[in-house]
Amino acid sequence: MNILSVVPNEKTIYVAGGCFWGVEAYFKQIAGILSTEVGYANGKTEYPTYEAVCHENTGHAETVKLVYDSHRIALEEIILHLLRIIDPTSLNKQGGDVGTQYRTGVYYEEEADKAKVERLFKAVDPNHTFVVEVLPLEQFFDAETYHQDYLDKNPTGYCHVQLHKAKEPLLGLPEYVKEDAEALRQRIGDEAFEITQHEDTERPFTGEYDDHFERGIYVDVVSGEPLFLSTHKYNSGCGWPAFSRPIVANAVTYERDNSLSRERIEVRSAHGDSHLGHVFPDGRPDMGGLRYCINSKSLRFVKAEDMETEGYGHLIPLLDEEA
């Protein structure tokens, strides 16, 4: 189900990951990406052709321009997607493509983006093995028309990217084996069981996380999968914890809910399939306009200082992103 921001906040980043056909096709599937365009970036010549980039020393990298809604997807999430479809330790080679035009890179227009990318790289690559360029955008030239949306027009065309990964969970998930109903009830309690498994709702202003704003992450009480960041939480006055968006776009799924007199959009955890709450278009405009109204009993809070020991250390850089 398509959940749109009420107040989009457009930003732009440029990513290089080998042949731009597959990179573009992958990112077109990601929620929050508003538009894509392929082209040639940070080279030595003006208005290069594809033939020149491939066979002459132009210095350009095959690059995809991504315009995204920062209220729906953070730059850090985009970079995590890039890292899953490239080999960040391979210099000038991705898949079967070899040459400087196939180098990997992140090219930014805003200086603040550099620190975000480098902080994330440091967290996921503590041994500094990445050879991904992180540089300001010097120039970007549109590729020829036939290259734009190439795999849409040529579905059997060459692609070095595993496009199906766009639909798979982005974040590393804790090992989870679904318990039988009685064992789960015993572990999480009656109220949490009825909420997560039978779509019950806790009474407003009674949940422990309604007025809770400590730094950390909120995970599914059933499966342990990460769902929300404290930096996206705000006081909506509705009586339940309110978030502007999930930790990453595919952390949750959506279902139509007609159980009341009006249609609502139910929010469920993607991995554990727990009922979490609902999402409404009446949130804070400066945070995207959405209100993820979530039951406290569906969640477990992990403090920032405990994230490393509990297996969520790789997500700490996400806490530093702008809300």
**Which of 86, 84, 73 minimizes the C-alpha distance to 132?**
86
Q: Distance between CA atoms of 146 and 156, rounded to whole angstroms? A: 15
Three-state DSSP at 188 gives helix
Residues 75, 119 contacting (CB under 8 angstroms)? no
Active site residue 54: no
Residues 175, 78 contacting (CB under 8 angstroms)? no
Torsion angle in degrees (nearest 10) through CA of 171, 272, 206, 190:
-150
Q: Distance between CA atoms of 30 and 18, rounded to whole angstroms? A: 19
Residues 80, 21 contacting (CB under 8 angstroms)? no
Q: Which of 54, 159, 238, 293 is catalytic?
A: 293
Three-state DSSP at 291 gives strand
Going 115 to 116 to 118 to 123, the CA torsion angle's sign is positive
What angle, rounded to 10 degrees, do the helices at 75-85 and 111-124 form?
50
Q: Nearest 5°: phi and psi at 302?
A: -120, 115
Task: Count the Cβ atoms, other than its own, within 10 Å of residue 295.
Answer: 25
Which residues lie closer than 8 Å to 261 by C-beta, 6 or more apart? none
- Residue 294 region by backbone torsions, left for phi larger than 0, else alpha for psi between -120 and 50, else beta: beta
Q: Give the residue numbers annotated as catalytic, written as ranges.
A: 19, 293
